Amino acid sequence: MTASELWGEREAAGYDDDVEMFSAEVLGPTVDVLAELAGGRPALEFAVGTGRVALPLVERGVAVTGIELSPAMVAVLQAKPGGDALPVVIGDMATTRVEGSFGLVYLVFNTITNLLTQDAQVACFENAVAHLAPGGSFVVECFVPALRRLPPGETFVAFDVSPTHIGVDEYDVVGQHLVSHHTTIRDGVADVSSGRFRYVWPSELDLMARIAGLRLAHRWADWDRSDFTADSPSHVSVWTKPG
């Protein structure tokens, strides 16, 4: 499954319904960190989507360019105030090149796992380096695979159960893939969807970064820069390009 199949018109139309992801509590620290890392230089977002992070970052004075595989997501972005002024190139974040040099390249909310092979994920790191100015930063926000919660012989982990949403990840530990199953209740109607991803460990990302010529600068548990521990369910990692 490609990202364009995963994020078609149906998914794009409902993507902004996740109120929590657009809350000030989530977006505030995210934009704070990214604006600081940009350091007054332009930023490039891989898989810019509907502009959840890019548009607030522009409001902070950072010039943002986006790469996005899904035209449907870009259409939602461009319909927002200021969205039509944000440059977006339609393409794969692992291979698509844009003009210019950037002080920051970033991808958020597990997007690296949309690339379904290790080779594609390595290529994404190499593409980030190709766009980065010397001393620039590449930032990845991603979940930590929940295999510690997987009993022997089982493949399913429920990660969210509420009156309006049930989320279950189905792990393939041999192929290092998972299928994320979602049942969402909207106006009394159940909406069912699934997406396939390649999960990746923080240490594996560090090796990809080293292959691309980056070095690890920071790893936090969240955008609030809290310490990353063995129990952290996610991480925000920052690698820098020597310069």
For the four alpha carbons of 18, 7, 240 and 41, in that order, the dihedral sign comes to: negative
Longest dimension (CA), the chain: 55
Q: Is the pTM of this model over 0.75?
A: yes
Count the residues in the chain: 243
The DSSP bridge pattern shows strands 234-240 and 177-186 to be unpaired
Distance CA 70, CA 13 (A): 12
Per-residue pLDDT of the chain (243 residues; tens, 9 = 90+): 344 456 777 777 777 776 577 788 889 999 999 999 999 999 999 999 999 999 999 999 999 999 999 999 999 999 999 999 999 999 999 999 999 999 999 999 999 999 999 999 999 999 999 999 999 999 999 999 999 999 999 999 999 999 999 999 999 999 999 999 999 888 889 989 899 999 999 999 999 999 999 999 999 999 999 999 999 999 999 999 998
Alpha-carbon span 29 to 11, nearest angstrom:
26
Compute CA distances 154 → 144, 170, 177, whole Å.
18, 9, 14
